[in-house]
């Protein structure tokens, strides 16, 4: 029997990259899924592929998680369509890179809305439906830089650190409702963002790939399916006793003990 049969999941940023990998895996494990992204065309293409691969029901919501009304739709529309909600995966892109001193209030507000307030709003909308369903799973996707800060990544570091604190507190407040809350901090994975940040898709791709791999103790860049596998475990019955955790999936890059 599929481990997620009868469950409904909302996955953010799921037209490509990590979100798409998670959506494919959860659907393969038996869940019906709602995919969320800003651009309709790649979103519908992703939905079509997942339907054909898994035979599951796939719903799409074209929305911008930086906008409060869109966050309301992201939860309300799938809930109306499927009639229930069991899993919420908070995932999206990331704010621009740059020196902290170079960002004005507008940049900070955009980062805050994208990385932090989207999680607050989507979770606030999802929890009542999860309570009605008898429990649920919330997983936040951030980045290793939230635990091991790097120069130029300050907008993400500051806002995702807030997500970690929010998620830990929330896990204590909703545990009695059989709702778990966990946060994953991925290291370097083969996604479009990796290519954008480090230039792994240009003429010097091989040289850059070799440099990045050398910095990872396991000696390779991660595959999106490996994050998806962790999410699938956390939202399955096997993950029912795991809550309030912040875990890094990074090939051993994080250097501190805790």
Within a domain: residue 148? yes
Which bin fits 6, alpha (ψ -120 to 50), beta or left (φ > 0)? left
Give dist(CA 249, CA 184) in Å, integer: 7
Q: Average pLDDT, stretch 155-162?
A: 97
SS3 track for 96-122: CCECHHHCCHHHHHHHHHHHHHHHHHH
The H or E element spanning position 62 is: strand 58-62
Average pLDDT of the chain is 92
pLDDT (tens digit per residue) in 125-154 = 999 999 999 999 999 999 999 999 999 999
Within a domain: residue 144? yes
CATH of the domain at 147: 3.40.50.720
Q: Residue 9: pLDDT band by 50, 70, 90 thresholds? A: very high
Within a domain: residue 1? no
Same domain? For 114 and 166 the reply is yes
Same domain? For 147 and 208 the reply is no
Same domain? For 132 and 204 the reply is no
What's the domain count of the chain?
2
Residue 220: predicted pLDDT: 86
Within a domain: residue 258? no
Q: Residue 251: pLDDT band by 50, 70, 90 thresholds? A: confident
Helices (H), the chain: 17-28, 40-54, 68-82, 105-111, 118-133, 154-174, 192-198, 205-214, 224-235
Percentage of the chain exceeding pLDDT 70? 93
CA-wise closest residue to 238 among 168, 137, 142, 167:
137
Same domain? For 206 and 89 the reply is no
Torsion on CA atoms 162, 194, 150, 225, rounded to nearest 10: 60
Same domain? For 92 and 211 the reply is no
pLDDT (tens digit per residue) in 43-70 = 999 999 999 999 999 999 999 999 999 9
Q: Is the pLDDT of residue 1 over 70?
A: no
Within a domain: residue 256? no
Specify the DSSP class assigned to residue 92.
Answer: -
Describe the strand order of the beta sheet including 179-186 as a list of residue ranges.
58-62, 32-37, 8-11, 87-90, 136-141, 179-186, 246-249
Give dist(CA 144, CA 180) in Å, integer: 21
Same domain? For 137 and 60 the reply is yes
**What's the domain range around 195?**
190-221
Same domain? For 70 and 117 the reply is yes
Same domain? For 89 and 109 the reply is yes
Same domain? For 103 and 217 the reply is no
CA-wise closest residue to 93 among 197, 233, 169, 216:
197
């Amino acid at each position: 029997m599929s481990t997620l049969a009868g469950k409904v999941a909302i996955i953010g940023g799921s037209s490509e990259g990590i979100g798409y990998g998670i959506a494919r895996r959860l659907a393969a494990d038996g869940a019906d899924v709602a995919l969320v992204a800003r651009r309709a065309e790649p979103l519908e293409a992703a939905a079509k592929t997942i339907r054909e691969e898994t035979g599951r029901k796939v719903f799409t919501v074209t929305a911008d998680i930086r906008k409060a009304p869109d966050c309301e739709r992201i939860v309300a529309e799938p809930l109306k369509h499927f009639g229930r909600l069991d899993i919420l995966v908070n995932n999206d892109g990331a704010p621009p890179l740059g020196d902290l001193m170079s960002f004005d209030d507008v940049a900070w507000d955009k980062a805050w809305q994208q990385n932090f307030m989207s999680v607050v709003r989507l979770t606030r909308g999802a929890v009542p439906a999860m309570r009605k369903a008898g429990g649920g799973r919330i997983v936040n996707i951030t980045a290793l830089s939230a635990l091991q800060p790097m120069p130029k990544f300050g907008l993400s570091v500051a806002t995702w650190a807030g997500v970690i604190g929010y998620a830990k507190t929330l896990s204590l407040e909703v545990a009695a409702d059989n709702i778990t809350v966990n946060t994953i901090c991925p290291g370097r994975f083969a996604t479009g963002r990796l290519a954008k940040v480090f230039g792994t898709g240009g003429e010097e791709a091989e040289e850059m790939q070799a440099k990045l791999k050398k910095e990872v103790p396991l000696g390779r860049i991660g595959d999106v399916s490996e994050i998806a596998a962790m999410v699938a475990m956390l939202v399955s019955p096997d993950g029912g006793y795991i809550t309030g955790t912040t875990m890094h999936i990074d090939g051993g890059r994080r250097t501190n003990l805790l």
